[in-house]
Structure formats: structure tokens, C-alpha cells
Structure 1
Amino acid sequence: MATASSGGSLPCGCSVFITVPDAFFIPEFVFGGLVWILVASTRVFMDNPQGWVMFVSVFCFVFTTLWFFLSISGVNQKSNVWPTLDVAYHALAAFFYLSASVALANVTISFTCPAPFSSVYISVFEFAPLLQVMSYVATLFYALHAVFSAIRWKSS
């Protein structure tokens, strides 16, 4: 049976910035945005999985922004389904980012430059390790958000 307190376990308004799982919204924006920018500024090769990485970064950035504004506006207080959706979304985002990070690591390890005849190839090598690190950091924040959201969901 649904109670009013089960829907109230999620914060709303400015309390989103100070609660433990929801405070991860800001680093998720920052590192997800950096992944998006770094993928957009590198050149895509035929066997490069940057299309998947771009999809993951844009998808997570857009839905995290939507989720953030829904939390601030208090829409998440109207039903007891929101804590479950919070856990499901952040677990899915962590899984997506982990798959993108592993694909980037594979390409970074196996990527060889045929000839440094262009500055584009040099920029790919400069951005690849940074892109990989930012992707793993975004994965970490989404995973932490999912874990702490699951703890909050189980306690409600």
C-alpha cells in the first residue's frame, strides 16, 4: 500500500544539492559534458566506437538534466514510483558509461597511427587518454549515484 512518506524519501527543491546521492548530479553534468565535448572534438575512424560513446554521453546528459529539473520542481514527490525509477535510471546510465569506457579503452590500446602526416592524428592521441579518464569518472559518479539511490530506495 502506498503511503505519503514513501514518495517523500526523495528530496525536492534546493535540498537536491545537499543530499548524498543527488549531489552527484553536478559531477555527472560536468564529466558527462566533458566526455561529450571530447568525443565531438575527435575524428571518427571506421573501427572506432565513438558513435556509441557519443550516444551514451548525449543520452545521459539529456536525461540527467531532465531528472535534475524534475527533482528540483518536486514532481518526484507525487508518487512512490520515483525512487525505483531513480535507481533504474542511474544503474542503466552507469552500465552504458561502463560499456562506452571499456570500448574506449580497447580502441586506445589497439589504436596505432599509420603516419603522422596530419595534426588530426596527433589530436586523436592527445584526447584519447583524457576521454577515457573522463568516461571512467562519469561511470564512477553514475555508479555511486545508483548505489546510494538503491540504499535510499531500500530504506523507504
Structure 2
Amino acid sequence: MASNTGQSGFLPSGAALFCTIPDIFYLVELVFGGLVLCLVASTKLVPNNPQAYVISVTIFCFIMTFLWLIVFVTGSHRNKSSWASADVACHGFASLLYFSASVLLAFITIGYGTFNKGALEYKLDVAAVVFAFLTTLLYTVHTIFSALRWKSF
């Protein structure tokens, strides 16, 4: 009988993907990453470079997570342990990128505050920081559960 955490030595595909613990995070990561992208894109880019980095990270991770989801849903991974290790590496890299972007976004939001911004834009920046850290947490939890599954192979 397959365990609910996906740690029974197999990689799910198709509809079974949405029943295992590490893989159920794909949709939540996509939603929260999209929220971060929308919130950062809706504010004025002051200063330009740090927020451009945050947008680049969110776009990269969104596309990477979506493509990874498609690989697992279509069953292209063929149930091999190399895909499990690639899943750990992929989500670990995404969590590091999101952590760096979250810290940078928080630093810029705290540093500039309401300087040259209205109260609404400041609230959007604060919401972007909160969702960026939540997305970082989701990617980190996904990495931990994927590592546990990889270890079971």
C-alpha cells in the first residue's frame, strides 16, 4: 500500500501527483509565486535593480515549477531515482533563490518605507514581502519532503 507522503520508493504521475505530500505543494507554489510576481510588478520599481532581481527570480521559479509539474503529471520521469534527486536539487535551488529575493525585497521595503511612495504602494510592498517569505517556506518544505522521498530510494 502506498503511503500518503510519497515515501514508498516511487514517484507518482498523473492524478496521483496531487495525493502525495511533497508534490501537492506544486499548485500552492505556483499560486503564491504568481501573487509575489503580481504584487512586485504592481508597484513602481524604485530602486530598479533589486526589484528587477525579485521579478526575475519569481518568473524563473514559476516557469521552472510549472515545467517540473508538467514532467511529473505526464509521467515523463519513468519512476527513476535520478528524477527524485533532481527534484530535491531543483526545489533546493528555488528555495535559495526565493530566500535571497525575499531578504532583498524586505530590505528595500524597510529601507524606503513610504519614501516617494504612497500608503497603498507601501502596503503592496509589505504584502509582496510576506508572500515571498511564504513562498520561500513552501519551497523549503517541498525540498525537505522531496529529500525524504529521495532517501527512501
Cα distance in 1 for residues equivalent to 2:71 and 2:53: 27
Does structure 2 retain, via aligned residues, the 8 Å contact 1:25–1:64? yes
Instruction: Pick the aligned partner of 1:132 from 121, 129, 132.
Output: 129
TM-score by length of structure 2 reads 0.88
Task: Tell me how large the CA RMSD over aligned residues is.
Answer: 1.6
Does structure 2 retain, via aligned residues, the 8 Å contact 1:49–1:104? yes
Say which one has the larger Rg. 1
Change (3 A) 1:94 1:114: closer
1:80 aligns with 2:81: yes
* Runs of 5+ unmatched residues, structure 2: 1-8
- 3-state SS, counterpart of residue 34 of structure 1: helix
Q: C-alpha displacement at 1:83, in angstroms?
A: 0.6
Cα distance in 2 for residues equivalent to 1:19 and 1:51: 34
- 3-state SS, counterpart of residue 77 of structure 1: coil
Q: C-alpha displacement at 1:35, in angstroms?
A: 0.5
Q: C-alpha displacement at 1:47, in angstroms?
A: 5.9
- 3-state SS, counterpart of residue 141 of structure 1: helix
- 3-state SS, counterpart of residue 42 of structure 1: coil
- 3-state SS, counterpart of residue 9 of structure 1: coil
Amino acid at match of 2:40: V
1:93 aligns with 2:94: yes
Match of 1:103 in 2: 104
Alignment of 1:1-150 (within 5 A): 9-46=10-47, 49-77=50-78, 79-114=80-115, 121-150=118-147
Amino acid at match of 1:103: L
* Runs of 5+ unmatched residues, structure 1: 1-7
How many residues are treated as equivalent by the alignment?
145
